[in-house]
Amino acid sequence: MKYTSAVLLGGAASVVSAGAFCSDAVQDILGNYFCPGGVKQIKYGGLDIPGKYRAVAKMDNSGTCTFEDRPYSGPIAPYDEGLSMHFRGPLHLTNVAVYTPGKGKRDAPKVVHSKRHGHQHLHKKHHEHKKERAVGDEVVATIDGQVVSWINTYAGPTADPVADSAPAAVTPPAASPAESQPAQDTKPAGSNQVKTPVDNTPITGDFVRSAYYSSADAVADGLVFLANVGSPGVSGTWDTVWGSSLAYVNDEGAAAAASPTVLKDKLLDDTQEIAIFSDAPCDGSCGATRPGSVAYKGFEGASKVFVVEFTMPDSGKSGSGQNMPAYWLLNAAIPRTAQYAECSCWKGDNSSPLQGGCGELDVVEILSPGDTRAKSTFHFANGIGDSHYIDRPVSAPMVVAVVMDAASSTVSIKVLNDFGFPTSLTSDQVQNMVNDEKNVNLLSLLSFGQ
């Protein structure tokens, strides 16, 4: 086991001091330090440090970009805010699942997500069962225009005539939210948000699978694929000031699409990047967004689980920026404004995210062409990174779980030996993802410093 207090990053790049991490770290020509031998788990404790970041207050296509301070506090903050998932090739994405704490009580209804299947078709499941409900059965109903569900705890006939008689409502898919506007002009999505029923399988675990993608089955449920490929007239936008905005990306992951698609079972090449957001269109809670961009919410909450299966083949290329695959999480406000331009909360109007960034977590990132050592780094005011690395999955798929646990203020990045992407997880299963790797030589522990 390797343990250390956090070593703060000295700049925006993934370069960390070697001294406190291991005595025999080796520095590469780019200045990155690597401890010898890969690990299976990198665990960060103590992520409960209040602070503030520079949020975009207003953005327009003329080049105006103003900022305002936004405070944060509490476990996991600011990573408790909505996060988007990002992937850079060469990478073959095979499975994705996001789990969030379940809602098993009648007084805690949940919004159910849209489900999309392959070939760019949007299918809606419409269940209209009228039968007596047993204890433990899931009840789905439309209440005040919202499709909600709960687990029945009453053994006799229900007293809820709405739940007894009303068929599950089906609303249009979340394919076409209004093009985003500046924060002051943004209105709640209202009926544009998708709330189609889920399967009538009772939720047995403490965490619910709120988003899912399977490349083999060509299924996307509760999420949308986007990319910085905005194309006026298709989706998103482009101009000479900010470049390409977020847009729906086609099933090849290469160009703008007019509506949500399901990414093909394919290899993203060295030049391609895609993003995954939740399927909830943005409303006023998203803050400022780029006008004309496609804007969706990220995956929110202080406790959440991201499980991803992928390979990172060696493309054999050695040019600048090539053969450097990566998987990372961003505060979703960053790409909703300008991921690769000077108008986002990544560093606000400061010189570095250490002076007020809203949050990036590099889960597994290759830092030089052809390298097989994947680093992990936090970018924000208390950013840290680990000199230990996870072996790049060049020839066989690897499953990586990122668990953000509010109760312990811990973020765990762990390679899983076996995972079936079930529809729910018990709290014990989630805890096992957080628990220390049994082989202490494959575990690295870090702690955020005050």
pLDDT tens track, the chain, 450 positions: 343 333 344 333 333 333 336 877 888 768 888 998 899 999 999 999 999 999 999 999 999 999 999 999 999 999 999 999 999 999 999 999 999 998 633 333 333 334 444 433 333 333 333 333 344 444 444 333 344 444 444 344 334 433 333 333 333 334 445 444 433 333 333 333 333 333 333 334 599 999 999 999 999 999 999 999 999 999 999 999 999 999 999 999 999 999 999 999 999 999 999 999 999 999 999 999 999 999 999 999 999 999 999 999 999 999 999 999 999 999 999 999 999 999 999 999 999 999 989 999 999 999 999 999 999 999 999 998 889 999 999 999 999 999 999 999 999 999 999 999 999 999 999 999 999 999 999 999 999 874
Q: What are phi and psi of 333, to 5 degrees?
A: -65, -25
The single residue listed with the structure tokens 């628990």 is 435
Number of Cβ atoms within 10 Å of the Cβ of 145? 10
Q: Which amino acid is at 84?
A: S
Measured CA to CA, the distance from residue 287 to residue 57 in angstroms comes to 7
* pLDDT confidence of residue 21: 60
Question: Cβ(424)–Cβ(205) under 8 Å?
Answer: yes
The alpha carbon of residue 394 and the mean position of all alpha carbons in its chain are separated, in whole angstroms, by 23
Residue-level length of the chain: 450
Q: Which amino acid is at 62?
A: S
Cis peptide leading into 90, omega within 30 of 0?
A: yes
Question: Cβ(366)–Cβ(324) under 8 Å?
Answer: yes
The structure's pTM equals 0.77
Integer angstrom CA distances of residue 273 from 48, 102, 214, 226, 367 = 31, 31, 18, 9, 16
* pLDDT confidence of residue 32: 84
CA proximity to 125, closest of 202, 200, 39: 200
The single residue listed with the structure tokens 């002076």 is 355
* pLDDT confidence of residue 23: 76
The single residue listed with the structure tokens 């093909």 is 264
The single residue listed with the structure tokens 């990045």 is 413
* pLDDT confidence of residue 286: 97
Measured CA to CA, the distance from residue 39 to residue 391 in angstroms comes to 7
The single residue listed with the structure tokens 């450097």 is 324
* pLDDT confidence of residue 180: 47
Measured CA to CA, the distance from residue 137 to residue 318 in angstroms comes to 56
Question: Cβ(244)–Cβ(159) under 8 Å?
Answer: no
CA proximity to 197, closest of 147, 139, 130: 147
- Token pair in block for residue 370: 């052809």
CA proximity to 260, closest of 269, 270, 251: 251
